[in-house]
Structure 1
């Protein structure tokens, strides 16, 4: 299974920079970059909720599940 992170797409749609979002939700730009690239093992619900609140979106707009090819 694979979780695809579409945060960069949603940020582009909302015209929000990484610096702006990171400051608004209280995380570093480095950690936001790791999240955007899907290089994290997990994300706190509080962080996800803050992102969704700021970008006026739903978690499903940011995270996508794809079944692995067999």
Structure 2
């Protein structure tokens, strides 16, 4: 079973969501009625989620390269 492609896709989606959460915490994106809007906790949560997405994406890329050989 090829798991590298789904890992890459999931990692990219998680990374994008992390960026959106980070921007909502900084009051740049989103409705003012959101609990994330202008909340400093979500600035750090967004960064952590983005880093997790990057790690998942890199893992998928590494698995794809390893499977090639």
TM-score w.r.t. the length of structure 1 is: 0.30
Please identify which structure carries the higher helix content.
Answer: 2
Query: Whose Rg is larger?
Result: 2
**Structure with higher RCO (Cα < 8 A, 6+ apart):** 1
